[in-house]
Structure formats: C-alpha cells, structure tokens
Amino acid sequence: MNDMEKIVIIISAISAVAAATSAVFSWISSKTTLKLFRKEKLEKLKDELGKILEISIEYPYLEAKSFTSKWEQYRNSDDERYLRYDMFCNVLFNYLHRVCEHFKYDKQKIEDFVDVKTWIRLHRLNWLNPVDENENIDGYDKKFRDFINSYIV
C-alpha cells in the first residue's frame, strides 16, 4: 500500500469517527431539548391549574354540586351564573385535554397530576348536555371523548 492509499484510509476513518461523534451529539442535543420542552409544558399546565383554581375560589358555586346539578334546567337561560359556568366548563375540559395529551393518556399519571375523576363527575351534566349539542363531538378528538366518558358512571 502506497502513502496516498494510507492517507485516504486515515481520512476516511477520521471522517467516519467525526460523523459518528456528530450523530451522538445531535441525539443528545435532541433528547435534552425535548426534555426541556416537556418540562416547560408541565410548568405551563401547573400555571393553568392555578388559574382554574383561582376562578373556583372567586366563584365557588362553579364547583358546588348543588349548582352544577341544575345545569340541564338552566343551560339555555340568560342567567349570568350559568353562562359563566358553561365557559368555566369549556376552560376546564380544554385544560384536561392538554393534560391528557401531555401525559399521553396515561390515566395513572393524569390522576396523580390532577383530580380528574372528581372534576369530570362533578361537571358531567355539562359534558353530556352542552349548550351546542355538537360541541364536544366537534371540539375534541375521539380519544379524549372516550377518556372523559370512561369516568362518567
């Protein structure tokens, strides 16, 4: 083997090592970026949860069974409390949809993060009887609708 062939082999080996090293660093960088993104997304979900709880504190009747149980009777009324309740439920179910997506519909992880059972059961009448009868069908994917319905007894 002459000197030129040796140089070509050495350059090829160096190129292969450089490519492999680059691929490893790229993979590590991608994993780190994804991990940071998911952490930021979780923090945002925690912040949103805080805002929903603040609404519940400001308007405690939104979480009172004595109020929510009358949804069917008042859902088409102009009563400001029930208009607010309908908007609250929209915010709540939209939030739960984001939580489900974040935790990839893993029920245990979702239940560990938020008291999803209590919320869904308390607001089931709004879910089952939205003001716009197609609201939940058009507004949410089947996987989420099935998830919510799995808690409604």
- HSE at residue 86, side-chain half, CA atoms within 13 A, is 19
pLDDT at 146: 97
101 phi and psi angles, rounded to 5 deg: -65, -40
Give Cα 49 distance to the centre of its chain. 11
Angle between helices 142-149 and 80-102 (to 10 degrees): 110
Domain ranges of the chain: 59-149
Which among 44, 84, 79 has a CA at the least distance from the CA of 60? 84
pLDDT band (50, 70, 90) for residue 33: low
Section 10-35 average pLDDT: 73
Which residue in this structure is represented by tokens 């308007």? 59
Whether the per-residue pLDDT at 51 is higher than 70: the answer is yes
In this prediction the pTM is 0.79
**Beta-carbon contacts of residue 118 (< 8 Å; ≥ 6 apart):** none
pLDDT in tens, 97-137: 999 999 999 999 999 999 999 999 999 999 999 999 889 88
